[in-house]
């Protein structure tokens, strides 16, 4: 079966949907999701979205991002991220995201490695709020068609020019021919046993890029989050305890009930400090303490975390939260330019599957959703400017004879192997790569 559209977007997180919403309304768009629309890492994001508070804060925001990234960042990308942050937050508000306010002014919180409070949020479920607002707007757009439960199998290309993609829905192959394809398929956490990510996110776009010689970059830049809820013998997605908990004053205590690290240092430093305590004490977790805060404040500021911990038998207003590090974010990925263009013509990549270079070696807290916004909008604007100069071409496409689960397993194995190749045995030992 063949289908023809102007733009195919693969992924339904903030970067995929926001790209679609910024495309002109005369562009015919197909957006596909591997699971349901909300089965994304965006939906899991708790802490918030970093943004320059004003023009004067941009310089410091740039420096904080560079410092956290070990100065391995692409400076041009960082400047774009910070300078365009304010307008994108304003756009989210127009789309219906009700960020927390006091006297009609945005409330800013602080997380690790930020010099000032500059993170906007909706309590502790910011990603879910953003996802809902974007999906609500998506449903109003008549030019956008959505396919859920649809697997991205491969790119259709000729002479390094993207012609479309092969997708599988209801066990049927559909060859989608498009003027432009946007990869927004998320991270790689699903290949790790110990991760805060959705389990279905196995780096599909990375596997397809490897098969099609699309340039990749910094595949060894994998971020560990210091504070995932510790549960013994669990193979499920780790429940994240947002960095905002530490940003609001939470402290980390070792097995001797002693504070051992500045909680607001960059994530990699805090994670290493926790691993040192775990190794030294032979206790597989450390404690995060917010019991000194008023219960009413905890329940108002962190209602989601409070309820989820309660389900796990912990009243965080009275008891310590057991935490340990977990794989959290992929800073590397498909190499793109400042307009999210990949090394293949008419193929774009946005969000966690892309590598804009903005994060460097270690992502600054709450810059992930911001990157998804800023570079998705730039992607959409670039497509808007050039799409009418592109013709759709139908070419012969191979019929996939491998059953779907075998294809998924092969692509997943390819991603695991490239991670091991680029990282050595470090993440294998640290996270038990499956």
Q: Mind telling me the catalytic residues? A: 267
> Rg of the Cα trace of the chain?
21
**Token pair listed for 5:** 């559209």
Q: Shortest CA distance to 111 belongs to which of 229, 221, 249, 239?
A: 249
Q: Which residues contact 47 (CB under 8 A, 6 or more apart)?
A: 109, 111, 119, 121, 124, 126, 242, 243, 244, 247, 365, 366
Long-range contacts of 422-425 (CB under 8 A, 24+ apart): 422/219, 422/220, 423/219, 423/220, 423/222
**Contact by Cβ (8 Å): 216, 188:** no
Query: Residue 148: CB partners within 8 Å, gap ≥ 6?
Result: 12, 32, 33, 35, 36, 37
Residue 422 in tokens: 């680029």
Phi first, then psi, for residue 422 (nearest 5°) are: -80, -25
By DSSP bridging, strand 105-106 and strand 101-102 are antiparallel
Nearest to 267 by CA among 283, 290, 249, 244: 244
């Amino acid at each position: 079966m063949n289908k023809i559209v102007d733009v195919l977007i693969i992924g339904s997180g903030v970067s995929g949907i926001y790209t679609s919403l910024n495309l002109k309304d005369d562009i015919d768009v197909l957006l596909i999701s591997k699971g349901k629309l909300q089965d994304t890492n965006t939906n899991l994001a708790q802490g918030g979205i970093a943004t320059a508070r004003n023009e004067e804060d941009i310089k410091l925001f740039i420096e904080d991002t560079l410092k956290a990234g070990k100065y391995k960042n692409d400076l041009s990308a960082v400047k774009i991220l910070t300078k365009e942050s304010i307008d994108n937050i304003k756009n989210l508000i127009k789309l219906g995201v009700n960020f927390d306010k006091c006297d009609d002014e945005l409330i800013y919180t602080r997380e690790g490695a930020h010099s000032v409070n500059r993170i906007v949020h909706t309590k502790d479920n910011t990603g879910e709020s953003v996802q809902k607002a974007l999906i609500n707007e998506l449903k109003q757009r008549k030019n956008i068609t959505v396919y859920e439960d649809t697997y991205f199998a491969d790119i259709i290309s000729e002479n390094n020019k993207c012609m479309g993609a092969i997708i599988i829905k209801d066990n049927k192959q559909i060859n989608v021919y498009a003027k432009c394809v946007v990869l927004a398929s998320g991270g790689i956490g699903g290949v790790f046993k110990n991760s805060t990510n959705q389990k279905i996110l196995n780096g599909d776009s990375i596997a397809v890029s490897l098969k099609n010689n699309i340039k990749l970059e910094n595949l060894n830049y994998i971020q560990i989050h210091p504070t995932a809820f510790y549960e013994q013998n669990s193979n499920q997605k780790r429940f994240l305890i947002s960095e905002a908990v530490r940003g609001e004053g939470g402290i980390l205590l070792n097995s001797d009930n002693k504070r051992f690290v500045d909680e607001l240092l960059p994530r990699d430093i805090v994670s290493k400090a926790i691993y040192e305590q775990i190794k030294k004490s032979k206790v597989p977790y450390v404690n995060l303490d917010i019991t000194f805060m008023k219960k009413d404040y905890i329940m108002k500021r962190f209602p989601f975390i409070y309820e989820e911990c309660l389900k796990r038998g912990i009243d965080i207003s009275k008891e310590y939260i057991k935490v340990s590090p977990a794989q959290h974010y992929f800073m590397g990925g498909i190499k793109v330019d400042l307009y999210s263009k990949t090394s293949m013509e008419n193929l774009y990549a946005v969000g966690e599957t892309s590598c804009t270079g903005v994060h460097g070696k270690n992502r600054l807290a709450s810059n992930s959703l911001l990157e998804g916004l800023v570079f998705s909008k730039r992607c959409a604007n670039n497509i808007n400017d050039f799409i009418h100069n592109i013709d759709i071409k139908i070419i012969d496409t191979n019929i996939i004879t491998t059953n779907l689960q075998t294809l998924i397993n092969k692509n997943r194995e390819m991603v695991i192997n490239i991670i091991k190749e680029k990282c050595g045995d470090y993440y294998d030992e640290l996270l038990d790569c499956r």
